[in-house]
Structure formats: C-alpha cells, structure tokens
A and B are shown apart, each in its own frame.
Chain A
Amino acid sequence: MLDQIEGSRAVARTVAACRPQVIPAYPISPQTHIVEALAEMVAAGELAPARYVTAESEFGALSLAIGASAAGSRTYTATASQGLLFMAEALYNAAGLGLPIVMTVANRAIGAPINIWNDHSDAMSQRDSGWIQLYARDNQHAADLHVLAFRLAEQLSIPVMVCMDGFVLTHAVERVDVPEPSQVDAYLPAYAPRQVLDPAHPYSIGAMVGPEAFTEVKYLAHQHMAAAESALPVLAGELGTILGRDVPGLLAPYRMFGAETVVVVQGSAWGTLADTVDTVRASGSPVGALGLVAYRPFPLQAFRQALAHARRVVVVERAFSLGGGGIVSAELRAALPPGVDLHTAICGLGGRPVTTATLRTLIEQAEAGRLAALSFPDLNTGVIDRELARLREGGHHGPSAENVLRHLHHLTLEGSR
C-alpha cells in the first residue's frame, strides 16, 4: 500500500508482513523506531504468536536471536553502530552456525569520537563475519530488501544484514509502497529450518571442530556465499515481478549505457548520485552510476560486466580502512580491466552529507585526469593544518578531537569577522 511513511516504520511493517516468530532487541547503542513499531504490533497481538524479547544488550539481543533461530523460529532483530560492534562475537557465531537471522543495520559511525550520525563504518567492520550484507538505496528498496533477505537467508541458511543509512533513510518520511502480506506470502514460504533443536531428533549444534575439519567447514560457508551471489539476482527478479517494481539485488545501475566515467556508491547517496549523473549527462559527458547493493557476497562478476567499457571508476566510500584506504575500491580493482583508472573518494563520514556539488566535482576532476587515487573531497583542510602544526610543537598536546573542535570554532569566528 502506498504510504507517506518514515523509513523505520516502513521496514517494521514489511518485517511484520514476513511474520517473524521471535524479535529480540536492545533499545539503544543506537536503535531505530523499527523495534518500537514491532513492539507495538506484538503488544497489540497483530503478530501473534510472535514473541518480542527485551534484551539487556546487543550481545544479548543477538544471542537471544541465535537461540530462537536454532530452535526453529523465524527471527529478526535490528541494531546500528556501536551496538553492531557489541554484537561482533555473536555475529560470527550466528553465521558460523548457519542460522538464517535477518537483521536491519541502520548504518552509523563508530567512535571514538562518539558520533551518532550516518556512515558505513559499522557494517563494513563486520565484512568477514559471514553475514550477507545488502545496502538499500532508498526506503522503498530498504523495505523490499527485507522480504528478499528472509527468503535468501532461509534458502541458504545464512544470516542477512539489511543495511540502510541511519537518519538519512531510517528517519526520513517519504513515499513507500509497503509490501502487502499477500505479496510476501506469495514469495516467502513458511520457515523450514535446515537444523533445529528437537528433542525427538537430538543432535549437537556448535561442537568443537579442530584443525582436521575447520578449513572445510569455512570453505563450505564460502561456497554458500557464492551460491548467494548466484541466487540474489534471481530472487530479486522474482520479488520484483510480484511487487511490480525493480528490486536491485547485486548492483543498482543508473544510466550506465555508454558510460566512460562510472561512480560507485553504497546506500542512500545513490539518489544524489543519480541526480548528479542526470545533470552531467545533460552537459554531454558519458557518466553512469552504480549502486553497490550486495557487499557480501561481493558481486565481482556483475561488476566485471557492468564496468567492461568504463574508462575510469570513482568509488565514493562512507567508511575507510585507516592506514589502508578505500575498502570497496580495494576489492573492486579485481573487476577492472587493465588501463581503467580507479579513484577512491572518502567522504560523507559521521553524518556529513554527500552533496551533488561534491559528486560533480569528483566527476569533473576524474574526467580531466586531475583526481588523485585517494582523496577526501569534503575535508576541512584548515583545521587539519592547525592541528598538525600544534602536534609539531610537541609536548603535552591534549585530545585531538577536542582540539579539532576548538580550531573549527576559531576558524568560524575568524570567518565571521
């Protein structure tokens, strides 16, 4: 049903249509309105016989989910930011045990410095946890991806994270066609677990595995991820047919025909990028956009096809590996034919918006051959220079984050004079 609705509420209603049986959640660190909306629905009996379980921490929340999923129930939870990191040990465990839990991650920055706003540092840090990671380009996509996530998770017995930009999507009210329960029912079969704690057929789950078999167990998990890469476009296409709209599953291309310069983004910057591409295309430049939907499994083949005729690629990343550089770009390089220029632009960290101006400048610089391999296009170099100068003075220096805030304040004052 078409609705003008907050992203979190749209996701909550979509999740409800998927009929989860157990929803454990911790309310902070930080959380979204998703779990509040689901708590309301469970309390009102709309999701009966589902259980909503209030956890004492995110580690507890995901651990509750592990137990519920192993006991054979469709299980959902949500978290973000520090909460995702607090779950880290249980994330690896859920994936290692092959439990098809679906979790929304409202992407936000990781401290210190403490920061509650959007970037992708949280989910990207869990790259190797064994969870499938899908990134939504807008709230419609976020809602649809949850339906896809349950189907994919249960078909392959792998947990799935649906990542949607914190605030930018979770708190944005926009038009969403929330999937109807009848549409979900047509797409998502009843949960038939591959393994279950059943007293009638008792076995051990989670036994110790030594060097004699650990590699094989991990390799099988890798194979399941490869299967997910093949399954995603098929399942996404099937869902798209039922919902009557495009549901990108691996990549979300925009005006890629004949594109010589391709900009790659994850998450909600896709919309801004699409607008920018329209503008730049209108001026005659062959530019295209690629939204990265599936980060795990990494869609290498799909990238190879999409970028076969590109001459330069700019990857805009809202997270980065300190001391390394771009995270997505490092993997994307393997998909590029020789001679294609690859640029990494780190921006939009800690809630700083990725603007059309930034994207347009990046495209123009790339086309002119003036864009560095690694750049920070929205960096305030004034405060950086001041802080570096202070550091060179040596001695007791004080906390850098607070120093930067002070420099910023001084620069603002100087600017206003």
Chain B
Amino acid sequence: MTTVERTRFYQVGSWAAGNRLLDPAQASVQADPGRANAITSGHRACQGCGEALAARWVLDTALRVTGGNLVVVNATGCLEVFSTPYPESSWQVAWLHSLFGNAPAVAGGVAAALSAQGRDDVRVVAQAGDGGTVDIGMGCLSGMFERGDDVLFVCYDNGGYMNTGIQRSAATPAYARTATTPIAGTATGNRSGQGKDMARIAMAHRIPYVATATVADLRDLETKVRTAMGLRGARYLHVLVPCPLGWGTPSCDTLRIARLATQCGLFPVFEAVDGVVTAVTPIRHRADVREYLKAQGRYRHLFEPRPRTDLIEAIEAQARRTIDEFGLLAADQTEEARTP
C-alpha cells in the first residue's frame, strides 16, 4: 500500500527521527521541534511504557496530517488513567473519555455529528487498550467497522489488563502468566491458542485499511497513521506495546522486546486494504522464540524450575504458522528458517 522511498542516509543509514539530512517530506513528525504535542510529559505512565510512546507517535502524526483538526476518543484503560487526572491532564487535543466498552461507538457519534455539521475537515481517532478493543469493546467496534464510521480506531495491545493488576484479556498470548491465569499446580498460565486476532477480524469486515505495527519501528507506525488518515471510513490500527510491569521486563527493554516479537514471528507486521493483505514487513534478523520468551517474567514458568519444552514448542509452532501465513521470511531465508 504505502511505498516508502528506500533512501540511504549518509550519517546513520537509518530512519532515526533526528536525521537532519532527510528530505523534509520524509522526516518524522517527532523530528520537528514545532510538532504538536498530543500527550505531554508529566503523565503517570510507568517507565518504559510502550503505550504512552505509541500514543504520542500516533496522535502527533494524526495532528500533523489533519493540520490539528482532530478529535480523540479514549476508552477507559491504562492510557486514560495515567493521562487524565486533573490538573495533570496530558492531552493537548480535543479529547473525550466516556466508558470502557464504548469508544468505537462514541467516536462514531462524533464523526456523525461532524458530518452533520459539515465539518468534514475535522477527523476522529479512537484509542483503547486490548481489553477495550477485543473484549468489552468488541461489539461496538464491530458495529463501527460494519457501519463504516469515519474513524481510525487504534488498539494499543499490551496483552492484558495491566493498570488493574495484570489480568488476562482475550489478547493475552498463550501460556503467559497473569493474575487470572496464575501458575499453580498443573496450571501453566493462559490457555493455549492465540486469542482474538483482531486485525484479521477487522479485515473480515472489509474495511478500507487495517494495519499492525509495534513500538520497535516507530517510523513504520507513523507511516501507517499517515496512510490511515489519508483514507475515509472505518480504519483499524493494531499496535503491539510491551508493558514492563505486566510482561516482567526491564523498562529499558521495551523496544527490544517489541522487536523480538516481530523478529521471532509471533507478531506479524502488515497492512491490508479492503480486507486483503497488501504488504508485510519481512523479518530482517530472525530471532529465536525462546529468546523472546526468556526475556519476560510472564513466561518464567516455561523455563523454571524445569523447562516446559512442550509448551515452548507449541509457541514456536505458532510463530512458524504466522511466518508461513504472512510470508514473513524472504524466499532465501525460508529454507533456513524451516530447518531448526
């Protein structure tokens, strides 16, 4: 869908936000000191919070694309709780929080009102965590998709209900330990399976644009927000945001963990237009699923006191299946990948 010019950079050879040699049209919104600051510092997110980082990139980009004509609807959840208690509200945008499970419908109502007022220049972004998206908000979200409300809905997926004490959601990955899927007796954390695959559920609604992203590749996230905001109708963006508290990872490792999730094949990064996958981000440096699991406290029971090889292999099989389904490995890597 989106073609990004593959430019070599003299200084760092990367997409680093601060690269001053980049064509201004390709520069990151975050590289601009004059950027809008949707969510300012001073909020109460944990150190290393993936969600706070992703929300800033998503909304600053949306503000840039819309020239500031943006309304944001927020579901109840970590993001809402850590950002709003007055007088410390971090939001520098027109922002509405209603309930946990209704953000898609509230956003649809805002879009309908703006349309009735002839304010088609004002755009709407709704955001929620994975609980507000795949669990309690799913009915309203499906309704929003089916109606084609002119809303970009962003799910920040940290795989559970984190600010309330790390309970399981339908987006919690297999065998992860949470407060409601504890390790006790023969119990091995969250049940097997891969939860609700919301991006593909969104695609099944044949909405104009669905994409996944992670905080490991913020330029990719930014590009996808730009693409999404360039379209009308119901659009869905699913962003993997590691949670140091809930995942049992050091705060400094958030981006590394997110990158491992994509590079081991467990989290596919892709775009879909009108229900059809149009682009995938291939794995560049294949990572071992075990490395990803070992880095997180929520999977410690898979390795201690004795290794649960059966469960680890089940997760590895899941990664292989995702790699195959999305073609995440380039042709020359595939043979190697299939040979353990």
Contact = CB atoms under 8 A, between A and B. Distances in A.
B94 A67 contact: no
B85 interface: yes
A209 B116 contact: no
B113 A71 contact: yes
Interface string A55-84: 111011101111111111101000000000
A68 B102 contact: no
Which size class do A's interface residues fall under? 35 or more
Contacts of B110: 67-68, 70-71, 197
Nearest to A206: B97
Interface in B53-88: 68-71, 73-74, 80-81, 84-86
A21 B116 contact: yes
Given A63-B106, A66-B102, A67-B107, A204 B113 contact: no
Interface string A200-221: 0111111111100000000000
Contacts of A198: 94
A207 B147 contact: no
A73 B106 contact: no
B174 interface: no
Which size class do B's interface residues fall under? 35 or more
Contact of A64 (B93, B94, B109, B122): B109
A49 B101 CA distance: 29
A65 B74 CA distance: 16
Interface stretch (A89-97, A141-149, A392-400): A89-97
Given A70-B96, A209-B86, A64 B142 contact: no
A339 interface: no
A202 to B, nearest CB: 4
Contacts of B85: 207-210
A244 interface: no
Contacts of A203: 94-95
A201 B80 CA distance: 20
A63 B74 CA distance: 13
B99 interface: yes
A63 B140 contact: yes
Tell me the interface secondary structure of chain B in the complex: mixed
B7 interface: no
B112 interface: yes
A22 interface: yes
A53 interface: yes
Contacts of A197: 71, 94-96, 110
B116 A89 contact: no
B89 A22 contact: no
A24 B112 contact: yes
Q: Which of B98, B111, B139 has the most chain A CB within a 10 Å cutoff?
A: B98
Contacts of B140: 56-57, 59-60, 63
A24 B116 contact: no
Contact of A66 (B86, B91, B109): B109
B13 interface: no
Q: Which of B73, B94, B105 has the most chain A CB within a 10 Å cutoff?
A: B105
A61 B114 CA distance: 17
B98 A64 contact: no
Given A56-B140, A60-B105, A208-B85, A71 B95 contact: no
B186 interface: no
B99 A89 contact: yes
Contacts of A205: 95-97
Contact of B122 (A55, A199, A204): A199
B143 interface: yes
A203 B91 CA distance: 8
A210 B142 CA distance: 32
A279 interface: no
A51 B112 contact: yes
Contact of B139 (A60, A69, A209): A60
Contacts of A55: 105, 143
A54 interface: yes
Given A51-B112, A60-B140, A207-B86, A71 B98 contact: no
Contacts of B101: 59, 89
Contacts of B96: 67, 70, 197, 204-206
Interface string A18-41: 000110100000000000000000
B288 to A, nearest CB: 41
B102 A53 contact: no
B242 interface: no
A65 B106 CA distance: 7
A65 B91 CA distance: 23
B3 interface: no
Given A49-B118, A65-B109, A199-B70, A207 B97 contact: yes
24 contacts: A21-B113, A22-B109, A22-B116, A24-B105, A51-B112, A51-B113, A55-B105, A56-B105, A59-B140, A63-B102, A64-B112, A66-B106, A67-B96, A71-B113, A89-B101, A197-B95, A201-B94, A202-B94, A202-B95, A204-B89, A204-B97, A206-B98, A207-B97, A210-B85
